[in-house]
Amino acid sequence: MRTFIVLALCVVCSACGLPGFEDPDTSFCTLEARPSVVVTVVGPVGTIIEDAHVTFTVNGGPEQAAECHFPSSTPARGCTKWMAGWEASGEFTLTATSADGQSSRQLQVSVSEDRCHVITEDVTITLSAK
């Protein structure tokens, strides 16, 4: 009888989220945060555009600047990949604009999640020639 009471208490405490009683579905999750979308911006022939400006919205929310995920080997030039969001799922609208503002393109992508993290989407946005 005592074993049954202890087992029942563990199940109730786990369901309530009390410390020390982890949800078995997430107990093996890693602790790092994952980017929602990784963006590469290229020109019409596939050359990476390192000085582009990348922004995003999630589920129609406010526009945010993407963060440099992989800096250029020449720091003054910019970035080779941008990160849009951390552990955010939903509908992303990504906008890439050339440094001179002459070329811009939007892309929509849906980011889902598993029981622990978002499933990072890796996308390429191609800007047209000026």
What is the domain extent for residue 16?
Answer: 1-29
pLDDT 10s digits, 47-93: 999 999 999 999 999 999 999 877 766 656 689 999 999 999 999 99
**Count of domains forming the chain:** 2
Q: Which residues contact 86 (CB under 8 A, 6 or more apart)?
A: 33, 34, 35, 36
Of the two residues 12 and 37, the one the predictor is more confident about is 37
Residues 106 and 96 in one domain: yes
* Whole-number pLDDT of residue 75: 58
pLDDT 10s digits, 87-129: 999 999 999 999 999 999 999 999 999 999 999 999 999 998 7
pLDDT at 16 over 50: no
* Whole-number pLDDT of residue 78: 83
How far apart, in whole angstroms, are the C-alpha atoms of residue 4 and residue 98? 66
Residues 89 and 117 in one domain: yes
The CATH number linked to 117 is 2.60.40.10
Q: Report the predicted TM-score, pTM, of the whole model to 2 decimal places.
A: 0.75
**HEC profile of the chain:** CHHHHHHHHHHHHHHHCCCCCCCCCCCCCCCCCCEEEEEEEECCCCCECCCCEEEEEECCCCCEECEEEEECCCCCCCEEEEEEEECCCEEEEEEEECCCCCCEEEEEEEECECCCCECCEEEEEECCCC
Residues 47 and 80 in one domain: yes
Residues 22 and 35 in one domain: no
